Amino acid sequence: MDSQMLVALGLSLVGGLSTSLGALFVVLSETPNMKMLGLLQGFAAGLMLSISFLDLAHNAINSIGFLKANLWFFGGVIFFACIAKFIPEPTVGPSTDSKRRKKNGDEGGKDMMKKKRKQVLFSGIITAIGISLHNFPEGMAVFLGSIKGMRVGVNLALAIALHNIPEGVAVALPIYFATESKWQAFKLATLSGLAEPLGVIIVAYLFPRSLSPEILEGLLGAVGGIMAFLTLHEMLPLAFDYAGQKQAVKAVFFGMACMSASLYFLELSLPDTMSL
Domain assignments of the chain as residue spans, ordered by start: 42-89+111-269
**Of 72, 30, 55, which is closest to residue 177 (Cα–Cα)?**
30
Higher pLDDT, 135 or 190: 190
What is the pTM for the complete model shown? Answer: 0.61
Residues 6+ apart with CB under 8 A from 99: none
In contact, 196 and 160? CB cutoff 8 Å = yes
Tell me the CA distances in angstroms from 53 to 62, 158, 252, one per residue in order.
12, 24, 14
105: left (phi over 0), alpha (psi -120 to 50) or beta: left
Tell me the CA distances in angstroms from 40 to 14, 35, 137, 226, one per residue in order.
25, 9, 25, 21
Higher pLDDT, 207 or 113: 113
pLDDT digits (tens, 9 = 90+) for 17-36: 888 888 888 888 766 566 87
Cα 74 from Cα 78, distance rounded (Å): 6
Cα 22 from Cα 188, distance rounded (Å): 12
Q: Residue 221: is it exposed, middle or buried by C-beta count within 10 angstroms (0-12/13-18/19+)?
A: buried
Cα 94 from Cα 21, distance rounded (Å): 36
pLDDT digits (tens, 9 = 90+) for 95-129: 334 444 445 555 666 666 676 677 777 777 777 87
**Whether residue 89 has pLDDT greater than 70:** no
pLDDT digits (tens, 9 = 90+) for 123-151: 777 778 777 776 776 777 677 667 666 66
Confidence of residue 250 (pLDDT cuts 50, 70, 90): very high
Cα 145 from Cα 156, distance rounded (Å): 7
Lowest mean pLDDT among 72-76, 218-222, 269-273: 269-273
In contact, 176 and 25? CB cutoff 8 Å = no
**Of 173, 192, 136, which is closest to residue 44 (Cα–Cα)?**
173
Higher pLDDT, 243 or 170: 243
